[in-house]
Structure formats: structure tokens, C-alpha cells
Amino acid sequence: MSPQAASAISCDVSRFREDIAIIMASAEMPRAVRGFAKSYVAHFEHRPLLNLVTSDRGRVMMAWMALYFDALYDPAIPGSGLTVNRFKAACADTGLCSQGRASAMLGVMRFAKHIEPVTETRRGHSLRLSPTEKLKTAFRERIANALKAMCLVMPEGRLGLDNLGDPVFERAFIIGACEAFLARERPMTFCPLAKLFAEKKAGFLILFSLILSTEGDSLPVDQPMTASIAALSKAFAVSRPQIKLLFRAVVEKGALQPVSNDAGNHFYLSEAMRDDCMRLMAGFWVLAACGVRAGLAALDAVHEPRPHHAAL
């Protein structure tokens, strides 16, 4: 990848927040976040069994983790790849969920045919699992949606889209993006208002639905957002009392501002919440850019012509 093709971010671990600030400075950032929100809501899987185990966001992150360990598989290294113990430990170490919940999610993923065993359990040997084409296809669709929105603020978005589907690129992309995630602060740590939604079932789906109820293609703070609790409950399989509790909590923390003399169905997006939305997405797009650069480097290595040796 030529230097002119890359964005101005460094992808340096120690400059994570500086890289985020560079992306947030783009005038297209509000439109990019709204574009991502639209695709995120549209891609929601209404699967009751999966929803009982973890949130939609949690399922996405766990799918990434499964793909990451599978991408690291090396037949020359015994015990490498995606195993139950490795997956459970990673989910707990990253704060994604408990080992028990991770184990339950693996069971559900096997039931849904998202992963399958490729070795048998034997004494001293771990059961190795592998993502199925069904999971890889779902991953590819989600990444494509994220990269389309990312195109508005970073050239790596287009570069990623152009190479998605190439197995060499995808393997290096998954490893690069996940290792960037594991090596840095979690984006959620400096987005406290966004975290309020992330910690609740269907929280981001509800937040994004509110944002999409406004007109235009931005993140307006001067337009009231419509919240039909009944509609949200039906769409995302969350009880009405849970949604009411979520709204009460985020209003108290200043993420949303209720419309005066309203029955609790209309809110304004606060300036602080708007900034958190952009900061959070900028953080994940830095990680995605690291993945794209890793993928392009892998392609360059594969296609680099071998040196010609004169005949002896």
C-alpha cells in the first residue's frame, strides 16, 4: 500500500487517542456514524436463543474472537487454533463476558451451525473448533457495512472493501484488527455515555433506532427523537420495563434529554452523547484500519515477485 493511500493515523499503540482525534475531526464523521447505525440495525438477527445468552454487540465481538483464534491456527503447532478453553479465557480476560457465558455461547454457536468441531477430544488434546462458511459470510456482510460507512472518513474503508473476499486479506485483516484491539485501551473506556447503552440488552440497537428517527443524514441534537417503547420492545425482544429503566438511567447521566411536557417518548441527543457516538466509532475504525493495513501487507507479501537467480 502506498503512503498516499493510507489515512493520516499512525496505528501506533501509544497514539490511540491521537488517532481517534484525527478521525473525529472529519466533517463527514456524523454522516459516517449514522450510516453505520442504519446498517447495524438492519443487520439485527432476531434469534431468541442467541439473545438470551448475550447482546447483539456481544455476539459480534465473540464471532470476531472465534475468527481470530481460527486465523491463528498453525498445523505445525499442536493445540493452536480455536479451542473452548482459549475462547473462554479470552472472553473473560477482555471483559467481554464470564467464562460460563462464553461456554454457553459456544454451545449456541454450534447449535446454530456457526462453528463446528474439526478434531475429537482426547486425553491431553483440546477439541479444536472452526468457524463455518455461514459465520464467515455473516462476518463479511457486517464488515462490508462497517467499511462502507468508514469510507466517508478514511481511505482504508475503500481499500478494505476492494479486497474483502480474498482469503489472504481476510485472514490478515482479522488478526491485525483483533491484535490492535487487544493491545490498546478498549474504546468503550473513554466513552462513558455510550457504555451505558452497551451494557444493556439491545442498548445500541435502541440508541441507533432513536438516532435514525430524526431527519437528514447526520446526528442532530436539535431534533426530537421518537421512541415508541412498544415498537422497540417488539423489534429487539426486550421487555418494556427494561427499556423504560434504560431511558431513565441515560437521562439521569445526561446522554439523552427528554422533551418538556412529554410522556417519555421523545428525547434530544445530548452534545456529550453525540461526541461519544463519534469517539466510539472512531476508535473502532482505527482498529479496522490496522486490520486493513495488515491485510494489504499480506497481499503484498504474497504477490511480491521472487528474486531471479542466475543459473550456476
The pLDDT tens digits for 217-276 are 999 999 999 989 999 999 888 899 999 999 999 999 999 999 877 666 799 999 999 999
pTM over 0.75: yes
Rounded Cα distance, 89 and 129, in Å: 15
Find cell 472529519 and name the residue: 26
> Does any domain span residue 163?
yes
- pLDDT higher than 70, residue 121: no
Residue 212's pLDDT is 96
Q: How confident is the model at residue 186 (pLDDT cuts 50, 70, 90)?
A: confident
Find cell 469517539 and name the residue: 279
Residue 95's pLDDT is 79
- pLDDT higher than 60, residue 47: no
The residues pairing with 269 across neighbouring beta strands, listed in sequence order, are: 256
Phi-psi region of 133 (alpha: psi -120 to 50; beta: other; left: phi over 0): alpha
At 199, which amino acid appears? E
Residue 1's pLDDT is 45
Return the C-alpha cell found at 2.
502506498
Report the 10 Å Cβ neighbour count for 193: 22
pLDDT tens, residue by residue, 191-223? 999 999 988 888 999 999 999 999 999 999 999
Q: How confident is the model at residue 74 (pLDDT cuts 50, 70, 90)?
A: very high
pLDDT tens, residue by residue, 91-113? 888 877 888 888 888 888 888 88
What whole-number percentage of the chain has pLDDT above 70? 88
Question: Are residues 181 and 174 in contact, defined by beta-carbon separation less than 8 angstroms?
Answer: no
Work out how many domains the chain is built from and give that number. 1
Residue 308's pLDDT is 45
> Does any domain span residue 113?
no
Residue 52's pLDDT is 47
Return the C-alpha cell found at 3.
503512503
Residue 274's pLDDT is 97
Q: Which of 146, 179, 141 minimizes the C-alpha distance to 293?
A: 179
- pLDDT higher than 60, residue 78: yes
Q: How confident is the model at residue 82 (pLDDT cuts 50, 70, 90)?
A: very high
> Does any domain span residue 279?
yes
> Does any domain span residue 38?
yes
Rounded Cα distance, 228 and 263, in Å: 11
Residue 6's pLDDT is 72
Residue 202's pLDDT is 87
> Does any domain span residue 178?
yes
> Does any domain span residue 28?
yes
Return the C-alpha cell found at 284.
473502532
> Does any domain span residue 228?
no
The residues pairing with 116 across neighbouring beta strands, listed in sequence order, are: 130
Question: Whole domain around residue 37: which residue ranges?
Answer: 3-45+133-189+274-302
Residue 311's pLDDT is 36
Question: Are residues 308 and 201 in contact, defined by beta-carbon separation less than 8 angstroms?
Answer: no
> Does any domain span residue 282?
yes
Q: How confident is the model at residue 297 (pLDDT cuts 50, 70, 90)?
A: very high
- pLDDT higher than 60, residue 55: no
Q: How far is CA 17 from the centre of its chain?
A: 18
